[in-house]
Structure 1
């Protein structure tokens, strides 16, 4: 069990680092939003186009990165949605069982299913070097790859959560 706890801590640390990196993506997202708004309104006042599809798509892609990679960090930090009214009344042992079963029966199979469906989708995007159809649009294959990375991180965090829950369950039996 000790090996699994070390594995869990390693996964937690990796997802924590990703979460910290996402703070910078959030800053980029805000800067892109400001540049787009200022460019649109200032450009209208000056009679020129100061915003572009590339900037708009970069803003959308920054949000996508935050959303897709942030799920594992959110799970690590216990920020996901749950029925806290019920959950708060349970003992630590019962909570551990709920977390273990939720991870093993729902989260992990869902992530595996999404990885299975996403793989061909991402592979086709890379084979075509897919680019946005909008004028001045950005490449789409890198952002589609984030699907695989995000679900892999979420899968790993689900494994980590199951390990931590199993450790609590095991302690309760001793």
Structure 2
């Protein structure tokens, strides 16, 4: 179990890194949003079109990347949406059982299915047609729009990161259930230092 807990710590460190990089996209999306609004109002005031579809699409592309890359980080920190009617009052051991079950039977299979069904969609966006033909990348139909293929790739990256973090969560929950990890350490897993028993 000690080796698995080390693997879990490595996964957690990787997820933390991805999350910390993603956090820096937030000021960028805000700046692009401010730019878009400023250009719209200043453009109206002077009778010119100052904005473009490039900046509008860039804003929602960056927001999408923040959402998709932040999912595993959110899971690591236990900040995803829960219906706490029963879960909030459970003991740490019962919470570990519920989390283990949910991760093994819902999170990981759902993410695997998402990757499976999104793969052809993303490959087609990159210009790889099912019949083997190559075509240009998918690009926004709007004038000055951005290529969509790089953004659609995050539809595969996000569930892959969730599966990886899900493996870490499975390890930690198993460690709690087998007595190799204090339940408090799992609850504090939002802290990077796991207290091994």
User: What TM-score comes out, normalization by structure 1 length?
Assistant: 0.95
Q: Deviations over 1:32-64 (max 9, x none)?
A: 000000000001111111111000000010010
Give the equivalent residue in structure 2 for 1:137. 145
Matched position secondary structure for 2:178: helix
Matched position secondary structure for 2:28: helix
Q: Deviations over 1:96-128 (max 9, x none)?
A: 100100000000000000010111111111123
Give the equivalent residue in structure 2 for 1:52. 52
Q: How many residues align?
A: 173
Give the equivalent residue in structure 1 for 2:192. none
Question: Aligned partners of 1:7 and 1:50: how far apart in 2?
Answer: 51
Kindly state the Cα deviation for residue 89 of structure 1 after the two structures are TM-superposed: 1.6
Kindly state the Cα deviation for residue 90 of structure 1 after the two structures are TM-superposed: 1.2
Q: Kindly indicate whether structure 1 or structure 2 has the higher relative contact order, using CA contacts under 8 Å at least 6 residues apart.
A: 1
Give the equivalent residue in structure 2 for 1:93. 93
Give the equivalent residue in structure 2 for 1:168. 176
| Larger CA deviation: 78-87 vs 9-18 | 78-87
Question: Aligned partners of 1:167 and 1:105: how far apart in 2?
Answer: 18
Question: Aligned partners of 2:89 and 2:142: how far apart in 1?
Answer: 52
Matched position secondary structure for 2:141: coil
Kindly state the Cα deviation for residue 85 of structure 1 after the two structures are TM-superposed: 4.0
Gaps of 5+ in 2: 128-135, 181-196
What pairs up with 1:59-78 in 2 under 5 angstroms?
59-78=59-78
Kindly state the Cα deviation for residue 18 of structure 1 after the two structures are TM-superposed: 1.0
Across the aligned residues of Structure 1 and Structure 2, the Cα RMSD in angstroms comes to: 1.4
Question: Aligned partners of 1:3 and 1:120: how far apart in 2?
Answer: 36
Kindly state the Cα deviation for residue 81 of structure 1 after the two structures are TM-superposed: 1.3
Gaps of 5+ in 1: none
Kindly state the Cα deviation for residue 88 of structure 1 after the two structures are TM-superposed: 2.5
| Larger CA deviation: 31-40 vs 121-130 | 121-130
